[in-house]
Amino acid sequence: MKRAVFLVSSAMTLVLGTGSFAQEVPPTYSLYGTPGLLEMPVATTAEEGTLAGTLSYRDGLFQAVLNYQLTNRLSGTMRYGIVDLYNDFETSVIENELERGFDLKYQLVEEGTYVPAIAIGLRDFLTPGRFQSEYVVATKSIGDNLTVTGGIGWGEMGTHGGFDNPISSRADRPVFDETDPDGQLGSDQWFAGDAAFFGGLDYQINDRWGVLAEYSSIAYDPAPNAPAISADSPYSFGVTYRPRDAVQLSFAALNGQELAISGSFFLNANNRPSLSGFETAPVPINARSASARQTTTWDRSATPEAALRSALTATLAIEGLTLTGMEMTDRTARVRFINTRYRSNAQAMGRAARMMTQVMPGAIEIFILEVEARGIGLSSVRVARSDLEALENRPGAAATLFANAAFAAAGDDAALIPAQDDTAAFSWGISPYFALNAFGGDGSLSADAGLRLEASYQFSPQLILSAAVAQSAVRFDAEDPEPDSTPDLQNVRTDGRFYGDDGVPVLESLALTHYGRPGGDLYSRVSVGYLERMFGGISTELLWKPVESRFGLGAELNHVAQRDSDMGFGFGEYDYETTTGHLSAYYDLGNGYHTQIDLGRYLAGDWGATLRLDREYENGVRIGAYVSQTDTSYEDFGDGSYNKGIVIAIPQDFLTGQPNRDNYGTTLRTRVGDGGARLNVDGRLYDVVRDAHQADLSDTWGRFWR
Amino acid sequence: MARLGLLLAACALMSCGDARDEGLGGQVAGLLLGGGAEAPAPQSLNVTEDDLLSNPGTYMRVNVRDHNRWETMVRAGSNGTRTTWIDGQSITVTEENGIVVATRGLPRDMMGAEATATWNAIRAGGGMVQRQVDFLDDQDQILARVLQCRIVSEGSDPVTRLQRTYPASRFKEECSGEGLSLTNIYWLNPSGRMIRSLQAVSPDAGYLQIDVF
């Protein structure tokens, strides 16, 4: 084969312009981890869906920041800071205090030919915010490489060169109060007190290098409990370098005297690094002959059902699908299978359907595909074999097939003939773990890492005994729980730091779980045993979730006792038993937004509610936030009443392109309090069930044909 | 190929309904399994030049230009006028009269396309046609692009491969649509069969050079 023949054609273009495949380079990120100059914000926004993680350091302040551009205009930020603070009397510096903060920014005006982008923002807006600032900022590009920013700031951003507040009704700003309740909206502070101007320039020399100049309005004035950071001059200069599009490194000379460095790392949920995936091609549809299509029955003696089950078991196994049961009539084949490989159940169904065209007699015209998880059939999707044959590789095939498919609850279990004689199964594995916990009111952050041995034995597909034993590599101080300073509120979470710190292997969980489907749209779970690190007992759950509905309702009732802190089998150390449970409503709002509301009684006996909102991308990336508020009072129990956090999940196949059902995920909490604490029980029903329901299937239906 | 081999072995052993009667079973099983039940090694097909030349209609050679990969492909199945070819590892290419209508296993597959209008224009010596091509985007959604294409005859351009020269006439198809422009080149032998082509798949998968033997 002579490649030279094609030299003439190698100059041909295959260009996609500003279509869905285009990737934008994110704007410059500041040391505070948001689009900005060095410490001051800009009005520019990142591309929608951008997640940016930033680590930055200047003397006295280390920050780890997660910034997320939720919509084209709205972004949110969560920040952990390790900061040096003046003490109550400004007489000395307390080093390395852990702080958390949240920012919000909204772009009011998009940049036009003559109009700058204008944004309004709140930095560290929850109490007690040591960096609490508000700002209005404008940014304008001049040519391709230069942007100019000017703004007005309040709070910390109004401390250098401040002047009387132009909003005369908010002339005075309440003094920072160290004892303010944690995590309340500090709205009496917002846009109050002196204001000050800030601004700067960002010049991109080329795609990789840029320079920054900033006039800052943050003075870092010494004050009781204020950050001990020196900032003699308002002028700062920096250099940015992007070794790759997804990485920004910054080096800065701040305030004329301090050096600072930062690194930002970007991921855009809309731009999958693995493109549309690297999985191997499916077996094509085996189209029937015209005569085979005409048949209305098949010869069961020549092609016995048992042989078809065996053949389909073998062929589905090639695709990582486990056939569990099958029911056949003259014209239909209903197959139930477990998807162990594909993130998208729609893709699993597409692969299963293609294999069925290889195996099933010509008379079989209807394929009924039922995905099973935890022993329960999750849904049934009915497709016509002639549709598969007619639509394969045709434009619009996915939309047409989806429109023609029928979605319903999974069919009768009893009518299925099992594909396997013996469903008992044992599995085990050892893996490393890493966990970051923000325990208790004192806000200490502790890391844990080690090895975890997990094993499970499946008595039947619905009944599973599972256990996990962990050995920490870093926690062996064997501290005993301290006397409870708030005896009226059980230490259901704040004592977590004393659990499993004896340096020996501990039993994380040992539980027997039964899953069931008591009715068409009803799903159930019962778990008994050592359910999690701190509690054991019984947990029951019932979920109502019709396949074609975006709405689900759940009820959970648990009776648990607090385990001993040595994480053995005992419950005597705390002698604490409680009944906890919630009513939950789940709703898929559409456009990638999902919400969940839980009402009920939490582990410490407090009553309240949790609201959760998630932005879920069809490719599986999920970024959510939740808040819990219960009747536990701040006055009595400190930072206990109010829990909040950020949940991030990124499917492994998003990054690797290899088909896989696992996620990389974490929950970032500001702190783990005793109020609003829920049982950490494994395998809650909604996430298991919705995965094969119509709305979720439609999200990834484009993969049916892949 | 181990996957497909296993599938076919399973079918061969277990009476797979119609599967044995259709194209896929017999043809590919014979090719891959040599009549036996053992699956071949999951690597590229070992096809010699002699095999290519002495079995017309059996093999396709594909150069995935962006990956600098050459693959020999065999028929994996047919559906109407369309034939799907599979390589030794992971990729399938589906064509209709030699025009690529789908791929699988590339980083950005062509999920589906129409080719009849282009083929008719080639047979007519040129013309303007409209085609729809579907891709799978980063959000698992189908991204449809409607392309306006101009097909022109570029006259005689013999094809040389494996030290042999074949008479052929060359056609160029220039297409553009929203954010997408591409050029395909087709070489047809005197009997009107496509023997070589250079065809665009998608922005991320680039072009395929296809030689049909």
Helices B2-14, B23-33: crossing angle, 10 deg rounding: 120
Give the span between the Cα atoms of A306 and A22, in whole angstroms: 51
Domain spanning A290-421 has what CATH number?
Answer: 3.30.300
Q: pLDDT confidence of B3, banded at 50, 70, 90?
A: very low
**What is the share, in percent, of chain B residues with pLDDT greater than 90?**
63
Give the span between the Cα atoms of A30 and A37, in whole angstroms: 5
Distance from CA of A208 to the nearest CA of B (A): 23
The answer to whether residues B38 and B51 belong to one domain is no
Answer whether B161 touches A (CB < 8 Å).
Answer: yes
Distance from CA of A394 to the nearest CA of B (A): 5
The answer to whether residues B169 and B194 belong to one domain is yes
pLDDT at res. B42:
38
The answer to whether residues B123 and B28 belong to one domain is no
Tell which of A47, A50, A283, A300 to mutate to test the B interface (max B CBs under 10 Å): A283
Distance from CA of A291 to the nearest CA of B (A): 11
Q: pLDDT confidence of B162, banded at 50, 70, 90?
A: confident
Residue A453 bridge partners (DSSP): A430, A469
- Chain B residues in contact with A272 by the CB 8 A cut-off are 138-139
| Among the partner residues A344, A364, A657, nearest to B140 by beta-carbon distance | A344
Q: Which H or E element spans position A359?
A: helix A345-359
Q: B144: domain CATH number?
A: 2.40.360.10
Residue A141 near residue A147, CB atoms below 8 Å: yes
Cβ–Cβ below 8 Å for B138 and A289: no
Tell which of A393, A616, A621 to mutate to test the B interface (max B CBs under 10 Å): A393
Give the span between the Cα atoms of B25 and A99, in whole angstroms: 66
Distance from CA of A293 to the nearest CA of B (A): 10
Tell which of B131, B140, B164 to mutate to test the A interface (max A CBs under 10 Å): B140
The answer to whether residue B40 scores a pLDDT higher than 70 is no
pLDDT at res. B160:
92
The dihedrals phi and psi of A38, each to the nearest 5 degrees, come to: -100, -55
Tell which of B1, B4, B13, B16 to mutate to test the A interface (max A CBs under 10 Å): B16
pLDDT at res. A180:
75
The answer to whether residues B173 and B100 belong to one domain is yes
The answer to whether residues B191 and B165 belong to one domain is yes
pLDDT at res. A614:
97
Cβ–Cβ below 8 Å for A699 and B140: yes
- Chain A residues in contact with B7 by the CB 8 A cut-off are 283, 314-315, 318, 355, 358
The answer to whether residue B157 scores a pLDDT higher than 80 is yes
Give the span between the Cα atoms of A299 and A318, in whole angstroms: 27
Give the span between the Cα atoms of A288 and A356, in whole angstroms: 12
Residue A193 near residue A158, CB atoms below 8 Å: yes
Cβ–Cβ below 8 Å for B180 and A617: no
Written as six digits, the tokens of B109 are 């597959």
Residue A40 near residue A216, CB atoms below 8 Å: yes
Minimal Cα distance from B184: which residue of A?
A12
Say what the ipTM of the complex is. Answer: 0.87
Minimal Cα distance from A1: which residue of B?
B161
The answer to whether residues B35 and B64 belong to one domain is no
| Among the partner residues B6, B15, B86, nearest to A307 by beta-carbon distance | B15
Q: pLDDT confidence of B46, banded at 50, 70, 90?
A: confident
pLDDT at res. A640:
53
Residue B83 bridge partners (DSSP): B78, B95
- For B30, the domain range is 1-42
Cβ–Cβ below 8 Å for B11 and A358: yes
Give the span between the Cα atoms of A114 and A50, in whole angstroms: 27
Given a cut of 70, the residues of chain A with pLDDT beneath it are: 1-26, 438-445, 635-641
The answer to whether residues B18 and B38 belong to one domain is yes
B 52-81 → A contacts, CB under 8 A: 61, 63, 65, 70, 76-80
The answer to whether residues B37 and B60 belong to one domain is no
Where exactly are the structural domains of chain A? 50-268, 290-421, 434-691
Domain count, chain B: 2
* pLDDT tens per residue across span A262-271: 999 999 999 9
Selection from A550, A520, A513 nearest residue A379 by Cα: A520
Instruction: Report the pLDDT averaged over residues B161-173.
Output: 94
Q: What share of chain B is helix, strand, coil (3-state, %, to 5)?
A: 20, 50, 30
Residue B169 bridge partners (DSSP): B156, B188
The answer to whether residues B197 and B166 belong to one domain is yes
The answer to whether residues B96 and B183 belong to one domain is yes
Cβ–Cβ below 8 Å for B142 and A702: yes
Which contacts (CB < 8 Å, 24+ apart) does range A423-430 have? A423/A324, A423/A458, A423/A460, A423/A461, A424/A457, A424/A458, A424/A459, A424/A460, A425/A457, A425/A458, A426/A455, A426/A456, A426/A457, A426/A458, A427/A455, A427/A456, A428/A453, A428/A454, A428/A455, A428/A456, A429/A453, A429/A454, A429/A455, A430/A454
* pLDDT tens per residue across span B55-78: 888 999 999 888 888 899 999 999
Selection from A319, A322, A35, A95 nearest residue A227 by Cα: A95
Show Cβ contacts of residue A591 under 8 Å, excluding neighbours closer than 6 positions: none
Give the span between the Cα atoms of B76 and B31, in whole angstroms: 10
Q: How many CB pairs under 8 A join A and B?
A: 228
Cβ–Cβ below 8 Å for B107 and A700: no
Cβ–Cβ below 8 Å for A283 and B3: yes
Cβ–Cβ below 8 Å for A278 and B107: yes
At A125, is the secondary structure helix, strand, or coil?
Answer: coil
**What is the share, in percent, of chain A residues with pLDDT greater than 90?**
75
- Chain B residues in contact with A362 by the CB 8 A cut-off are 17-18
E-state strands within A278-410: 321-328, 332-339, 366-373, 376-377, 380-384, 406-408
Selection from A65, A46, A54 nearest residue A263 by Cα: A54
Instruction: Report the pLDDT averaged over residues B69-94.
Output: 92
**Domain spanning A50-268, CATH architecture:** Beta Barrel (2.40)
| Among the partner residues A19, A277, A362, nearest to B178 by beta-carbon distance | A19
- Write a three-state SS string for A443-491: CEEEEEEEEEEEEEEEEECCEEEEEEEEEECCCCCCCCCCCCCCCCCCC
Minimal Cα distance from B93: which residue of A?
A281
Is residue A128 reached through a cis peptide bond, with omega within 30 degrees of 0 on the bond before it? yes
Instruction: Report the pLDDT averaged over residues B69-92.
Output: 92
Give the span between the Cα atoms of A563 and A249, in whole angstroms: 46
B 5-34 → A contacts, CB under 8 A: 6-7, 10-11, 14-19, 21-22, 24
* pLDDT tens per residue across span A426-481: 999 999 988 877 654 455 667 788 999 999 999 999 999 999 999 998 887 777 77
The answer to whether residues B110 and B84 belong to one domain is yes
pLDDT at res. A434:
85
The answer to whether residues B73 and B147 belong to one domain is yes
Written as six digits, the tokens of A560 are 């648990």
Q: pLDDT confidence of B199, banded at 50, 70, 90?
A: very high
pLDDT at res. A638:
60
